[in-house]
Amino acid sequence: MKRLIIVSNRVAPPQPGRAAPGGLVSGVLDALRNVGGIWFGWNGEVDDAAAPLGQASPQLHPLAGQGADITLATVPLSRQDYEDYYCGFANGVLWPSFHYRSDLARYDPCAYAGYLRVNRALARALRPLLRDGDVLWVHDYHLIPFAQACRELGVTNRIGFFLHIPFPAAQVVETIPPHRELLRMLRGYDLLGFQTERDRLACIDYLYQQREAQPLSPYLLAFGGRLVRTGVYPISVDVAQIQAMAQQSRHHLLDAAARASGRQAILSVDRLDYSKGLPERFRAYEHLLEQRPDYRRKVQFIQIAPPSRGDVATYRRIREQLDASAGRINGRFSELDWLPLRYLTKGYERSALMGLYRQARVGLVTPLRDGMNLVAKEYVAAQNPDDPGVLVLSQFAGAAVELEAALLVNPYDHAATAAALARALDMPLAQRRERHQHMLQVLQHNSQTQWCRHFLRDLAPVQLRQPLVIPA
Ligand code: ADQ
């Protein structure tokens, strides 16, 4: 059996005694559990005294209790590497640009050089751990050059790449100054995987326009003298596990008064990020309260948004903006016995969160752009099928492709989002059940296990009926 080597920016395994992890981590573990292998990446620590990456060997820890031989191989980042690779280029340029926010990208050639340096150093650190026949699965935008860096070290193993975030239109990619050099490095991979067909098409369209790749068939590219396959693999959640957590959760995070009065909860849960559309969402809720006074006192909007990437300046600005608009909404509409908006900036234990999803009548998930959005899928999975809540979902989340039975909205249109909220709050039980059942079936069909299985199946070598001459 071939070993699987997972490479991701962060190695974040479940901690003993802590709640089960989210979709990406449990998906990765699911894949590793079947065949065993290594999960390699940054350990999340920034070490001011660390040696430059690539000179130190990774620290190896066995991951117990998984039923397979799984080793975690981690390295710390030096301060300079963290600032250049993680904050500077990955989250300062690639994240905003790939979410159509080129206006927020701050390109610095030194940070880009650091991004390449760290990718090469990570490849050097992993190299001695690799064996013939190992299959590598590399995750996300932090690691675009990783396969190419491995190839330069003589690695011939199969290497697949999965992009968790959207792939934007070619003109947006072109705003990234070194876009051509950067995306050419995708040729080191054997498989490029995307969340949706729109992302896959955007990527191959960009590569064709740049004359970097040529189509051999709808899913096969001749790319830099290599054969590179592309595919769509929507990430998903473990429905059975979420249902069990939501049912068993004894946490009643909604306050007793709200429950006793039958007040309906609208719930949003996000990492605090400008791509998630929080200011636009607050505006939509404000519009609802303004235009429909009959909803006042009858609803409560709960926004859970723990801060992320606090070392990147744009994230500090969005926090300030949200603090101000939450204050304005509560100042305008609060009554002595009613707080219209609860804005909580902390993380919750996963089982508590699943219980809360189940108690909320409306799940409001309105990113401006999102690769998939697992919260939307978790919300659906957590509902009571006999009395389910309604998902209001942005048409710009990857999840909208599968969850078409949600109420789909344009998050930039606050009046339409407010109207969808009203519709969700008033939706009769029969319609709620019908929509929920439809979405649940989709999640059961396109499961988290299928995500892994299909990606790894397609990473196997392509069997050609005839020998192929690949244009260089
Ligand atoms: P993210 O941008 O992080 O992921 P998302 O897919 O919604 O977005 O996943 C967030 C996860 O964090 C969910 O599992 C959620 O339950 C959890 N979470 C969020 N807020 C929390 C809180 N306050 N307390 C506890 N848990 C919380 C990136 C891409 C997405 C893509 C995923 C997976 O941006 O588009 O869906 O990767 O591919």
What DSSP letter does each residue of 436-461 carry, written as one string?
HHHHHHHHHHS-HHHHHHHHHHHHSP
For ligand 1, say whether the CB of 397 is within 6 Å of any of its atoms. no
Q: How many domains does the chain have?
A: 2
Pocket of ligand 1, candidates 271, 274, 312, 391: which has the most ligand atoms within 8 Å of its Cβ, to mutate? Answer: 271
d(CA 217, ligand 1 centre) in Å: 34
For ligand 1, say whether the CB of 24 is within 6 Å of any of its atoms. yes
Do 222 and 245 belong together in one domain? no
Q: Which two tokens stand for residue 358?
A: 């189940």
**In whole angstroms, how far apart are CA 74 and each of 58, 120, 122, 184?**
5, 15, 10, 27
Do 140 and 257 belong together in one domain? no
Q: What is the pLDDT of residue 469?
A: 66
Q: Is 265 helix (H, G, I), strand (E, B) or coil?
A: strand
Q: What is the pLDDT of residue 339?
A: 94
Mean pLDDT along residues 3-16: 87
Q: What is the pLDDT of residue 419?
A: 98
Do 80 and 172 belong together in one domain? yes
Provide the domain limits for residue 299.
Answer: 239-445
Select which of 84, 270, 370, 458 is catalytic: 370
Judge if ipTM > 0.90. yes
pLDDT tens-digit series, residues 84-137:
999 999 999 999 999 999 999 999 999 999 999 999 999 999 999 999 999 999
Q: What is the pLDDT of residue 171?
A: 98
Contact 306, 312 (CB under 8 A): no
251 pLDDT above the threshold of 70: no
- Residue at 421 is within a domain: yes
Do 386 and 271 belong together in one domain? yes
Q: What is the pLDDT of residue 12?
A: 84
Mean pLDDT along residues 24-35: 80
Do 217 and 301 belong together in one domain? no
> CATH no. for residue 304?
3.40.50.2000
Do 282 and 202 belong together in one domain? no
Per the model's pLDDT, the better-predicted residue between 255 and 103 turns out to be: 103
Pocket of ligand 1, candidates 28, 372, 394, 451: which has the most ligand atoms within 8 Å of its Cβ, to mutate? Answer: 372
Of 232, 251, 284, the one marking the end of a domain is: 232
466 pLDDT above the threshold of 70: no
Contact 59, 73 (CB under 8 A): yes
Mean pLDDT along residues 377-381: 98
242 pLDDT above the threshold of 60: yes
Do 288 and 148 belong together in one domain? no
Ligand 1 atom closest to the Cα of residue 276 is 2
Q: Whose CA is nearest to atom 35 of ligand 1?
A: 371
Q: What is the pLDDT of residue 373?
A: 96
Do 215 and 253 belong together in one domain? no
Q: What is the pLDDT of residue 343?
A: 95
d(CA 322, ligand 1 centre) in Å: 19
- Residue at 82 is within a domain: yes
Contact 382, 358 (CB under 8 A): yes
For ligand 1, say whether the CB of 36 is within 6 Å of any of its atoms. no
Q: Whose CA is nearest to atom 15 of ligand 1?
A: 375
Q: Give the model's confidence band at 463: pLDDT under 50 very low, under 70 low, under 90 confident, else very high.
A: confident
- Residue at 215 is within a domain: yes
d(CA 429, ligand 1 centre) in Å: 29
- Residue at 371 is within a domain: yes
For ligand 1, say whether the CB of 199 is within 6 Å of any of its atoms. no
Do 175 and 282 belong together in one domain? no
Q: What is the pLDDT of residue 50?
A: 74
For ligand 1, say whether the CB of 375 is within 6 Å of any of its atoms. yes
Backbone φ and ψ of 439, nearest 5°: -70, -35
Instruction: Please say if 370 is a catalytic residue.
Output: yes
Contact 372, 163 (CB under 8 A): no
Q: Give the model's confidence band at 35: pLDDT under 50 very low, under 70 low, under 90 confident, else very high.
A: confident
- Residue at 451 is within a domain: no
| Cα 442 versus chain centre, distance | 19
d(CA 151, ligand 1 centre) in Å: 32
Q: Give the model's confidence band at 206: pLDDT under 50 very low, under 70 low, under 90 confident, else very high.
A: very high
d(CA 242, ligand 1 centre) in Å: 14
- How many whole angstroms separate alpha carbon 457 and alpha carbon 454? 5
Mean pLDDT along residues 253-268: 73
Q: Which two tokens stand for residue 275?
A: 């791509």
Q: Give the model's confidence band at 31: pLDDT under 50 very low, under 70 low, under 90 confident, else very high.
A: confident
What does the longest C-alpha to C-alpha distance in the chain come to? 76
Do 190 and 251 belong together in one domain? no
Select which of 99, 139, 142, 164 is catalytic: 164
Ligand 1 atom closest to the Cα of residue 304 is 23
20 pLDDT above the threshold of 70: no
Mean pLDDT along residues 188-205: 98
Q: What is the pLDDT of residue 292?
A: 97
Q: Give the model's confidence band at 371: pLDDT under 50 very low, under 70 low, under 90 confident, else very high.
A: very high
Of 215, 232, 249, the one marking the end of a domain is: 232
d(CA 375, ligand 1 centre) in Å: 6
72 pLDDT above the threshold of 70: yes
* Mean residue pLDDT across the chain: 92
Contact 281, 268 (CB under 8 A): yes
Do 69 and 185 belong together in one domain? yes
pLDDT tens-digit series, residues 302-348:
999 988 777 667 788 888 899 999 999 999 999 999 999 999 998 88
Instruction: Please say if 103 is a catalytic residue.
Output: no
Q: What is the pLDDT of residue 3?
A: 94
- Residue at 8 is within a domain: yes
- Residue at 468 is within a domain: no
Do 97 and 153 belong together in one domain? yes
For ligand 1, say whether the CB of 306 is within 6 Å of any of its atoms. yes
Pocket of ligand 1, candidates 8, 28, 369, 375: which has the most ligand atoms within 8 Å of its Cβ, to mutate? Answer: 375
Mean pLDDT along residues 30-50: 89
1 pLDDT above the threshold of 80: no
Backbone φ and ψ of 42, nearest 5°: -70, 140
Q: Whose CA is nearest to atom 24 of ligand 1?
A: 347
d(CA 376, ligand 1 centre) in Å: 10
**In whole angstroms, how far apart are CA 303 and each of 201, 276, 282, 364?**
34, 12, 9, 9
d(CA 269, ligand 1 centre) in Å: 8
For ligand 1, say whether the CB of 348 is within 6 Å of any of its atoms. yes
Per the model's pLDDT, the better-predicted residue between 19 and 317 turns out to be: 317
